[in-house]
Amino acid sequence: MTESGQSESGKALIKDELRRQRIETPSWAYGNSGTRFKVFAQQGVPRDPYEKLADAAQVHRHTGVAPTVALHIPWDKVDDYADLARHASDLGVAIGAVNSNVFQDDDYKLGSVTHPDPAVRKKALGHLLECVDIMDRTGSDTLKLWFSDGTNYPGQDDIRARQDRLAEALAAVYERLGEGQRFLLEYKLFEPAFYMTDLPDWGAAYAHCLKLGPKAQVVVDTGHHAPGTNIEFIVAFLLREGKLGGFDFNSRFYADDDLMVGAADPFQLFRIMYEVIRGGGYTAETAFMLDQCHNIEPKIPGQIRSVMNVQEATAKALLVDRDALAAAQREGDVLGANAALMDAYNTDVRPLLAELREEMGLDPDPMAAYARSGYFEKIAAERVGGAQAGWGA
Ligand code: RM4
Ligand code: MN
């Protein structure tokens, strides 16, 4: 492709792959967010799920590859979900994964589905099942389960009993899934629990999913690991086992920073995308979702930039000369193999993506096109009054 030699037909194939990529944006990225110190309100922020979908539609309009929007319940609770789905479709998008939320209620102080009190566990399970009802009504095929469950102090609760309670709840949700529906189980090392988390890593999530069956898969949130974790290994492993359901993309410098994907470590994102492609995971089965918050930067452009970052990493991963890489690996040519990866990574794929966007009838520069569109000025003027949406609200 590279100006350095990729054939025109090779380039066309890469563009075809990029054209069919789908990246899901999260409804919560459009609302106000912040740290535990301060939420900085922004102008024009949506007041309800309908307005969030309208903002998400702008991201799709300018990138052409972001046609679905993840919901978070109860943040996106509405009276009529079929109506919300229709609204999405009128805007040219659709409802994606339904994210459950059993972490923002006083009852969940000591856990949700792992809580020592059966009444709290019942309430949490009720919410998860309600999320499947919402999937039925919106046509969503994916439920994303993240639990903040864990303990802060040694001895606080019984680690093993909590695993039993977790397994019981997961089995009940699995049972409730309909034809063509699945759940993605998310893990996270720590936070909000600081001593022990009930689903701290991919191994624990994998073991629970394996027991349940094919409708249970693991989702890798790139911000949920210890520093230095080799995430691409996890990706390769899970794909090989048929258990990688998708990604919550974001990037982090320290903890679960939820910054724009590809901002902190674009090389890591490239390595992940390479393993996805290598492992046959570049299909609709593997959900590429963003799970981000834009605390200080404008939100719609933050999402557009993130989508572009995923596209750039994907394009570079598609550029890897797999034959040359395999030959070098066979021959034990360490430097040659490393060079095959690095040549692709160091290629400037922006011209290729600009060309692709023009072929798709889009502006080659989505950031500039959005800025010129006047959408921000319009929402800033229109969305006055009412309560702005936010992840805490
Ligand atoms: C969690 C986790 C979930 C997301 C919430 C907002 O840390 O990443 O996927 O729904 O944050
Ligand atoms: Mn996540």
pLDDT in tens, 5-36: 578 999 999 999 999 999 999 999 999 999 99
pTM over 0.95: yes
Is the Cβ atom of 141 under 6 angstroms away from ligand 1? Answer: no
Predicted confidence (pLDDT) per residue in 143-178, tens digit: 999 999 999 999 999 999 999 999 999 999 999 999
Q: Compute the distance from residue 190 Cα to the ligand 1 centre, in Å.
A: 12
Q: Compute the distance from residue 210 Cα to the ligand 2 centre, in Å.
A: 20
Place of tokens 């900085």: 40
Average pLDDT of span 48-70: 98
Instruction: Give the integer Cα–Cα distance in Å for 17 and 351.
Output: 16
* Atom 2 of ligand 1: nearest residue by CA position: 146
Burial class (CB in 10 A: 0-12, 13-18, 19+), 38: exposed
Is the per-residue pLDDT at 2 higher than 60?
no
Is the Cβ atom of 75 under 6 angstroms away from ligand 1? Answer: no
User: 10: Cβ–Cβ under 8 A, 6 or more apart, which residues?
Assistant: 1
Mutational test site, ligand 1, from 147, 222, 291, 295, max ligand atoms within 8 Å of CB: 291
Predicted confidence (pLDDT) per residue in 190-249, tens digit: 999 999 999 999 999 999 999 999 999 999 999 999 999 999 999 999 999 999 999 999
Instruction: Give the integer Cα–Cα distance in Å for 183 and 174.
Output: 8
Nearest atom within ligand 1 for CA of residue 186: 9
- The beta strand positions in the chain, using DSSP E, are 23-26, 68-72, 94-99, 142-145, 150-151, 182-186, 196-197, 216-221, 244-249, 287-290
Nearest atom within ligand 1 for CA of residue 248: 9
